[in-house]
Amino acid sequence: MWSVILLSVAVSLVLQILLWRHAVRVQNAGWVDFGWSAGMALAGLVVLVSGEMHLRRVLVSLMVTAWGARLAGHILFDRLLHQQEEDGRYQNLRRHWGDQADGKFFFFFTGQALLVGIFILPAAIVASRVGPFPDLFDLMGLAIALLAVGGETLADRQLAAFRSDPTNKGRVCQHGFWKYSRHPNYFFEWVHWLSYTVMAVGAPLWALTLIGPVMMYLFLRYLTGIPHTERQSLLSRGDAYRDYQQTTSVFFPWIPRKP
């Protein structure tokens, strides 16, 4: 298990250094997000080759790799290649750091490799679990993972379709999942990490798998996800987004409230 973590960190570190050099050339630190998700996809492959080959290991490897590859592809084509401007989060950091921005972004990029090591831990524990395959927990975990990937993909497509209509400029998407949560894509991203906790039931270090859903929730809800997105939405949509905040759950899907 520890070899999985160390090798995943090493592979992700090399990737992030290469992406940092590219980000300096193009002056777009958004490549760090691509590096994080691509690093997780590569870490899934590390899980596959870092121990005795068995079907549970193959399944959990495919789950992590598919999740990371889907997110990396979305970030690459929807943000980095489609949008010309650097993400507002990184523009603010660049202004704050001034001439030292490129140097400080180096540590920001390479720090993502440590996060890959943390988040691959639950999958490594699942891969180390012995016993008949598939059992009930394997099937439940796979079902949760498929639900999460499908839900996040659909939420992204719903938002992209809304934004592609010029008549919706300045308006707030309240179609599909976005009617019940202001951030359904983040919600389904969090759900994905519950699958490993379920699949690891019976493993000696099962409790450590909780680090995945707990840390992902904290990052999305309070650190890198929702706070920035909410600020940007208020700046770009103003009162329309304030009204949306009054009626719609911030994270967990729920029936809309009356204004």
142 and 107, same domain (yes or no): no
Q: Are residues 245 and 155 in the same domain?
A: yes
If asked whether residues 25 and 119 sit together in one domain, one would say yes
Same domain, residue pair 140 and 118: no
Pick the last residue of a domain from 75, 99, 128.
128
**HSE of 84 in the Cβ direction (CA atoms, 13 Å)?**
0
Looking at residues 165-189, what average pLDDT do you find? 92
Quick: pLDDT tens for 15-71. Answer: 999 999 999 999 999 999 999 999 999 999 999 998 888 999 999 999 999 999 988
Q: Provide, rounded to the nearest whole percent, the portion of the chain with pLDDT above 90.
A: 71
pLDDT at residue 170 in the model: 83
- Both 167 and 98 in one domain: the answer is no
7 and 116 both lie in a single domain? yes
Dihedral class, residue 176 (left if φ above 0, else alpha if ψ from -120 to 50, else beta): left
The domain boundary residue, chosen from 128, 149, 175 = 128
Last residue of a domain, one of 128, 157, 182: 128
Q: For residue 129, give the DSSP letter.
A: -
> Which residues lie closer than 8 Å to 98 by C-beta, 6 or more apart?
none
The reply to whether 141 and 217 lie within a common domain is yes
Which residues have C-beta within 8 Å of that of residue 195, sequence separation ≥ 6? 63, 141, 142, 144, 145, 148
Contact assessment for residue 251 and residue 181, using Cβ atoms and an 8 Å cutoff: yes
Sign of CA dihedral 169, 171, 174, 177: positive
Residue 227 sits in the same domain as residue 189: yes
Q: At 1, is the pLDDT very low, low, confident or very high (cuts 50, 70, 90)?
A: confident
Average pLDDT, the chain: 92
Q: How many domains does the chain have?
A: 2
Structural domain of residue 83, as residue ranges?
A: 1-128
Is residue 139 classed as helix, strand or coil in its secondary structure? Answer: helix
Residues 39 and 116 in one domain: yes
* pLDDT score for 124: 94
Residue 5 and residue 118 in one domain: yes
Where is 12: in which H helix or E strand? helix 2-26
In a shared domain, residues 240 and 172:
yes
Q: What global pTM score does this model have? A: 0.87
Give the pLDDT confidence of 191-225 residue by residue, as tens digits: 999 999 999 998 889 999 999 999 999 999 998 88
Give the whole-angstrom CA distance, residue 199 versus residue 138. 5
Residues 152 and 184 in one domain: yes
